[in-house]
Amino acid sequence: MKSESVPDADTSPNVRQRTDHDLGGCVRVLAEVHEHDGYPVNWPDFPVAWLTPPSLIASWVAEPDNRVAGHIGLSQSDAGDVAPGLWSARAGVSIDATAVVNRLFVAPWARGHGIGALLMAQAVTEAQNRSLHPVLDVVASDTAAAVLYERLGRQLLATVEQQWSPGQKVAVRCYAATI
């Protein structure tokens, strides 16, 4: 992996709606993140399809220095999502009242500049604009992500075991924005 320069600390990254033109850069950054952190846990056979699931409502990229450094998505709940069900049961609302924050990643070379927080704020704002409550989950072993979510005021709903495949059971921490 080539060495990348760190964005200027005085330059706020541009966060904007992701376009199809951005997908190549997103896949490159995702590959760096996977190599560095193991996210996603299982590398997708088709990374572009993984970034553009049918349930996707909207997605954004962060660009310091006019290059993709981070990504986030906002989706409707899918059958395998646990956090929407936990939140809806706790709040006494329909699962349809939630939106799942997902596909959040920041290039290792761009960390420490608030990019993850900026992306999260964008997704939360969009969910709220749609009168949806943002929820998310993270693999329990990803402590850095959990620390970010908790620092941003996300409420831990539960830690649950999910069966991802016949031979793979994963502990997942489920979060929701506080009211």
36-50 pLDDT, tens per residue? 999 999 999 999 999
Q: Are 134 and 176 in contact (CB under 8 A)?
A: yes
Q: How far apart are CA 64 and CA 129, in angstroms?
A: 26
Closest CA to 175 of 120, 141, 126, 138: 138
pLDDT at position 10 is 53
Instruction: Assess whether pLDDT exceeds 80 at residue 4.
Output: no
Q: Are 101 and 44 in contact (CB under 8 A)?
A: no
Question: Above pLDDT 90, what percent of the chain?
Answer: 78
121-168 pLDDT, tens per residue? 999 999 999 999 999 999 998 888 888 889 888 999 999 998 888 999
50-62 pLDDT, tens per residue? 999 999 999 999 9
pLDDT band at 5 (very low <50, low <70, confident <90, very high): very low
Q: Quick one: tokens of 124?
A: 């939360």
pLDDT at position 11 is 63
Q: Any alpha helices (H) in the chain, and if so which ranges?
A: 23-37, 47-51, 83-91, 115-129, 143-151
Torsion angle, alpha carbons of 80, 86, 87, 90, to 10: 160
